[in-house]
Amino acid sequence: MKKYQCMTLIAAGLSLAISSASALEGDAQAGKEATVMCVACHQGDGGGMNIPKGESWPALSGLDADYMYKQLQDIKSGARESVTMQAFVNTLTDKQMRDVSVYYSQLPAVAGKGGEDVTEEELAHGEKLAMQGDWDRYIVPCKSCHGPNNQGAGQHFPGIAGQHAGYISDQLHAWKKGKRHNDPQHLMLAIAERLDDNDIRAVSAWLSRQPAQ
């Protein structure tokens, strides 16, 4: 892919972010009541879990409500593959999905975990990828779409600063392998396919250590 094509992808992504500032309507209290099935993995505070060398469940607290609602819709429709989530989401009505999304969006963000075994050199590499990119390999910096300090930009680009390292890594590998493809204009595929395992390990660890919004 030519460099100008990468720049076009960035512009498209930022345009989507700017135009997506909608406020999802939902009942936070009803959402809290509906999360009884969510707490086993996402915890009572919405902070998720990161099991070293095991599965990682994302922190939902403080994420954009519209983004979470879309992910629930996509999982329910099959547009996003998630064996773990499918059975739970199938039990939710559309209103409950809205309520749950609004509820989690109002919770204070929780610090991410994971990536403790990375070196300082790897963390520096992760920071470069997240904040500057690697234009020699046409890798766009994360902040170009995920906003300043990678704390989110609208409903299409979630906050990834402070997200668990294991979850970020899992999703990057999923996009790289073509197992996840519900992102706008395949922007994530264009990035993930250029990342090697070391890149993913480094950027996931660095992002997990950054302040969440």
- What's the CATH code of the domain at 32? 1.10.760.10
Is there a single domain that holds both residue 117 and residue 159? yes
Query: Is residue 192 in some structural domain?
Result: yes
Instruction: Find the domain containing 79 and state its range.
Output: 28-105
Decide which of 105, 132, 167 is a domain's last residue: 105
Q: What is the mean pLDDT of the chain?
A: 91
Within-domain flag for 213: no
pLDDT confidence tier of residue 10, bands split at 50, 70 and 90: low
Is residue 101 within 8 A of residue 72, CB to CB? The reply is yes
Report whether 103 contacts 26 (CB < 8 A).
yes
Mean local confidence (pLDDT), 172-198 = 95
Question: What do you get for the CA distance between the two ends of the chain, in Å?
Answer: 33
pLDDT, position 1? 43
pLDDT number for residue 135: 95
In a domain, 34, yes or no: yes
Residue 117 to residues 89, 165, 206, Cα–Cα distance (Å): 34, 11, 11
| 6-15: b (≥16 Cβ within 10 Å) or e | beebbeebbe
My answer on whether 67 and 167 are in the same domain is no
Count of domains forming the chain: 2
Quick one: pLDDT at residue 115? 87
Domain boundary among 76, 105, 134: 105
Phi, psi of 193 (to 5 degrees): -65, -15
Question: Quick check: 135 and 191 in contact, CB under 8 A?
Answer: no
Task: Determine the average pLDDT of the residues in 120-134.
Answer: 98
pLDDT in tens, 53-99: 888 999 999 999 999 999 999 999 999 999 899 999 999 999 999 99
> Is the residue at 10 inside a domain?
yes
Token pair, residue 168, equals: 């970020």
21-30, 59-68, 136-145, range with the lowest pLDDT: 21-30
